[in-house]
Protein backbone atom coordinates (compact mmCIF):
# COMPACT_ATOMS: atom_id res chain seq x y z
CA UNK A 1 0.00 0.00 0.00
CA UNK A 2 1.09 3.52 -0.74
CA UNK A 3 1.03 6.53 1.56
CA UNK A 4 -2.35 7.67 0.21
CA UNK A 5 -3.86 4.24 0.89
CA UNK A 6 -2.51 4.39 4.45
CA UNK A 7 -4.11 7.82 4.91
CA UNK A 8 -7.45 6.65 3.50
CA UNK A 9 -7.40 3.76 6.01
CA UNK A 10 -6.66 6.28 8.78
CA UNK A 11 -9.54 8.50 7.65
CA UNK A 12 -11.91 5.50 7.51
CA UNK A 13 -10.87 4.62 11.06
CA UNK A 14 -11.64 8.20 12.20
CA UNK A 15 -15.08 8.05 10.57
CA UNK A 16 -15.87 4.79 12.37
CA UNK A 17 -14.38 5.60 15.78
CA UNK A 18 -14.81 9.36 16.14
CA UNK A 19 -17.84 10.05 13.96
CA UNK A 20 -19.71 6.79 14.53
CA UNK A 21 -20.37 6.03 10.87
CA UNK A 22 -19.38 3.40 8.35
CA UNK A 23 -17.65 5.20 5.48
CA UNK A 24 -18.44 4.77 1.81
CA UNK A 25 -14.89 3.84 0.85
CA UNK A 26 -15.29 4.78 -2.82
CA UNK A 27 -16.49 8.28 -1.89
CA UNK A 28 -13.84 8.66 0.84
CA UNK A 29 -11.15 7.74 -1.68
CA UNK A 30 -12.45 10.32 -4.19
CA UNK A 31 -12.72 13.05 -1.53
CA UNK A 32 -9.17 12.26 -0.38
CA UNK A 33 -7.84 12.44 -3.94
CA UNK A 34 -9.75 15.71 -4.38
CA UNK A 35 -7.82 17.22 -1.46
CA UNK A 36 -4.67 16.86 -3.54
CA UNK A 37 -1.20 17.17 -2.00
CA UNK A 38 -2.56 18.91 1.11
CA UNK A 39 -3.14 15.49 2.72
CA UNK A 40 0.63 15.00 2.94
CA UNK A 41 1.28 18.32 4.71
CA UNK A 42 0.94 18.21 8.50
CA UNK A 43 -0.69 21.65 8.74
CA UNK A 44 -2.81 21.60 5.57
CA UNK A 45 -4.11 18.07 6.16
CA UNK A 46 -6.17 19.19 9.16
CA UNK A 47 -8.93 21.72 9.70
CA UNK A 48 -8.55 24.12 12.62
CA UNK A 49 -12.08 24.09 13.96
CA UNK A 50 -11.52 27.07 16.23
CA UNK A 51 -10.09 29.45 13.59
CA UNK A 52 -12.76 31.58 11.92
CA UNK A 53 -10.51 32.24 8.91
CA UNK A 54 -10.03 28.50 8.38
CA UNK A 55 -13.78 27.86 8.56
CA UNK A 56 -14.41 30.68 6.06
CA UNK A 57 -11.88 29.05 3.72
CA UNK A 58 -13.68 25.68 4.03
CA UNK A 59 -16.98 27.44 3.30
CA UNK A 60 -15.71 29.42 0.30
CA UNK A 61 -13.29 26.99 -1.32
CA UNK A 62 -15.04 23.70 -0.60
CA UNK A 63 -18.76 24.23 -0.04
CA UNK A 64 -19.27 27.06 -2.54
CA UNK A 65 -16.59 26.43 -5.19
CA UNK A 66 -16.24 22.64 -5.10
CA UNK A 67 -19.75 21.50 -4.12
CA UNK A 68 -21.48 24.40 -5.89
CA UNK A 69 -23.63 25.46 -2.93
CA UNK A 70 -25.09 28.92 -2.51
CA UNK A 71 -23.74 31.02 0.35
CA UNK A 72 -26.00 31.27 3.35
CA UNK A 73 -26.14 30.71 7.11
CA UNK A 74 -26.80 26.99 6.60
CA UNK A 75 -23.24 26.52 5.32
CA UNK A 76 -21.59 27.67 8.55
CA UNK A 77 -24.22 25.70 10.50
CA UNK A 78 -23.20 22.57 8.58
CA UNK A 79 -19.51 23.25 9.26
CA UNK A 80 -20.26 23.57 12.98
CA UNK A 81 -22.31 20.37 12.83
CA UNK A 82 -19.36 18.58 11.21
CA UNK A 83 -17.10 19.86 14.01
CA UNK A 84 -19.54 18.44 16.59
CA UNK A 85 -19.83 15.13 14.73
CA UNK A 86 -16.04 14.84 14.55
CA UNK A 87 -15.76 15.88 18.20
CA UNK A 88 -14.98 19.47 19.08
CA UNK A 89 -12.40 18.31 21.62
CA UNK A 90 -10.59 16.27 18.95
CA UNK A 91 -7.61 18.39 17.93
CA UNK A 92 -6.81 16.58 14.68
CA UNK A 93 -9.72 16.98 12.30
CA UNK A 94 -8.45 15.58 9.03
CA UNK A 95 -9.48 17.68 6.04
CA UNK A 96 -10.52 14.67 3.96
CA UNK A 97 -12.80 13.39 6.75
CA UNK A 98 -14.22 16.87 7.29
CA UNK A 99 -14.94 17.27 3.57
CA UNK A 100 -16.45 13.77 3.48
CA UNK A 101 -18.84 14.70 6.32
CA UNK A 102 -19.88 17.89 4.51
CA UNK A 103 -20.31 16.10 1.17
CA UNK A 104 -22.62 13.55 2.82
CA UNK A 105 -24.50 16.27 4.75
CA UNK A 106 -25.43 18.11 1.56
CA UNK A 107 -25.95 14.95 -0.54
CA UNK A 108 -23.33 16.11 -3.05
CA UNK A 109 -21.70 12.74 -3.70
CA UNK A 110 -22.39 13.27 -7.42
CA UNK A 111 -19.64 15.94 -7.47
CA UNK A 112 -17.16 13.06 -7.11
CA UNK A 113 -18.67 10.63 -9.62
Task: List pLDDT tens digits, range 30-56.
Answer: 999 999 999 999 999 999 999 999 999
Locate the domains of the chain by residue range. Answer: 3-112
- The reported pTM is 0.96
Phi-psi domain of 107 (left: phi exceeds 0; alpha: psi -120 through 50; beta: other): left
Tell me the CA distances in angstroms from 56 to 26, 30, 33, 59, one per residue in order: 27, 23, 22, 5
Architecture of domain 3-112: Orthogonal Bundle (1.10)
Categorize the per-residue pLDDT at 92 as very low, low, confident or very high, splitting at 50, 70 and 90: confident
Does 95 score more than 80 pLDDT? yes
Amino acid sequence: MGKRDDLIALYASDLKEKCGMTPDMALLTKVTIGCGPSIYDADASTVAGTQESELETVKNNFLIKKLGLNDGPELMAAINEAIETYGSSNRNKYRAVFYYLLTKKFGKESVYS
